[in-house]
């Protein structure tokens, strides 16, 4: 799989995808929070700095 990039166009951007996996990760850079919702349960992931791999 080659690299794939997404740049938000506003403050309230969303990424939605379906998956079948034990673990899911995302590489994110910048400042702020990501809200991860899975099966109706939500959690916040704090993002800070250079590109970093985050478990979601």
Structure confidence at residue 1 (pLDDT): 59
- Neighbour-count burial of 29, counting CB atoms closer than 10 A to its CB (0-12 exposed, 13-18 middle, 19+ buried): exposed
Structure confidence at residue 44 (pLDDT): 94
Position 2 pLDDT exceeds 80: no
Domain of 34, in residue numbers: 25-55
Structure confidence at residue 43 (pLDDT): 94
Number of domains in the chain: 1
Structure confidence at residue 6 (pLDDT): 81
Convert the pLDDT of each residue in 14-53 to its tens digit. Answer: 888 888 999 999 999 999 999 999 889 999 999 999 999 9
Structure confidence at residue 45 (pLDDT): 93
Half-sphere exposure of 6 (CA within 13 A, CB side): 9
DSSP letters for 2-56: -------SSTT---------S--EEEEEEEEEEEEEETTEEEEEEEEEEEEEEE-
């Amino acid at each position: 799989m080659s690299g794939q990039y997404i740049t938000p166009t506003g403050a309230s951007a969303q990424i939605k995808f379906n998956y079948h996996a034990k673990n899911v990760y995302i590489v994110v850079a910048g400042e702020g929070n990501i809200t991860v919702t899975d099966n109706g349960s939500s959690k916040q992931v704090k993002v800070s700095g250079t590109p970093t791999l985050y478990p979601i």
